[in-house]
Amino acid sequence: MRGALAPITIAALRHLSANGATPLSTIKAAIAGLETNTMNNLVQLGHALRTETGLCITPRGRAKLRGIDNPDQAAPAAKPAPAAPQLSNNELDAAILATLGAAGRGLPLATLAHRVGQPINVVRPAVTMLSQRGRLHSSASKPPRYSLPEAVGRTATRPTGTYAGTELQRNPGIGPERYAAFDLPSRMGNRLHYPDGRVTSLEHHLGQPA
């Protein structure tokens, strides 16, 4: 058993508990076969303490003796933290998407993993696959933030109402001769395409009198 003491070591502790501070030579005379190293180990473990009058038992040493004499009353070992529940790939994907949907904004990987209740090394490959399939958006920030694609669309600025295109109209301060080039056709192969939608052949245009 881990932490168990040898019988001779326990006998040394009992001697200190019963007699108080005792010189090492007296303890060795009372307990046959006791080595100096045994008492040094008790000091290192915090079960015994060196004083001017000899070695004495510490509160930790008395607690050790109580645990030996009453094993059923010893403090129970700390229970390990419960492991995160095992999720299938589909369950994990659904949990990630639901968490991001509830957040309504981008979350870094550490925060996302904490809210999903899974370790980062489990969530990381899942968000990578979801991003590759277009079900998640990964920001260019460092660290990246993950969000639903529709959440990104909601944050983008979109025009409302009817768009009149006022800024595309001709400026009254610029003379019409400056816009003459915009009335000329564009050539595509042997055809001329006019701004008003007309299309003529290049041969027809070259055959017209000047």
**Can you give the pLDDT at residue 207?**
62
Burial class (CB within 10 angstroms; exposed 0-12, middle 13-18, buried 19+) of 167: exposed
Instruction: Report the predicted TM-score, pTM, of the whole model to 2 decimal places.
Output: 0.38
Instruction: Supply the pLDDT for residue 162.
Output: 60
DSSP string, the chain: -TTPPPHHHHHHHHHHHHH-SB-HHHHHHHSTT--HHHHHHHHHHTSEEEETTEEEE-HHHHHHHHHHH-GGGSPPPPPPPPPPPP--HHHHHHHHHHHHHHH-S-EEHHHHHHHHTS-HHHHHHHHHHHHHTTSSEE-SSSS-EEE-HHHHHHHS----S----GGGSPPTTS-GGGGGGGGS-EEETTEEE-TTS-EEEHHHHHHS--
Per residue in 162-198, pLDDT (tens digit) is 656 565 666 666 777 777 777 788 887 788 888 777 8
φ, ψ dihedrals at 179, nearest 5°:
-105, 5
Give Cβ neighbours of residue 145 (< 8 Å, ≥ 6 apart): 105, 106, 107, 108, 138, 139
Q: pLDDT for 49-60, tens place per residue? A: 988 888 999 999
Whole-number pLDDT of residue 8: 93
**Same fold across 7-73 and 89-155:** yes
Residue 97 · residue 133 · CB < 8 Å: no
What per-residue confidence (pLDDT) applies to 39?
A: 92
pLDDT at 166 (0 to 100): 60
Topology classification of domain 7-73: Arc Repressor Mutant, subunit A (1.10.10)
Sheet holding 186-188, edge to edge: 186-188, 191-193, 199-201
The correct CATH number of 89-155 out of 1.20.1510.10, 3.90.1570.10, 1.10.10.10, 3.40.47.10 is: 1.10.10.10
pLDDT by residue for the chain (210 residues), tens only, comes to 445 788 999 999 999 999 988 999 999 999 999 999 999 999 998 999 988 888 999 999 999 999 888 876 655 555 666 666 788 888 899 999 999 999 888 999 999 999 998 998 999 999 999 988 889 988 888 888 999 987 655 544 455 556 565 656 666 667 777 777 777 888 877 888 887 778 888 776 666 554
* In the chain, domain spans: 7-73, 89-155, 181-210
Q: pLDDT value at position 194?
A: 80
pLDDT of the residue at 152: 56
Read off the amino acid at residue 144. P
Beta carbons within 8 Å of 41's beta carbon, 6+ residues apart: 9
- For residue 27, the model assigns a pLDDT of 93
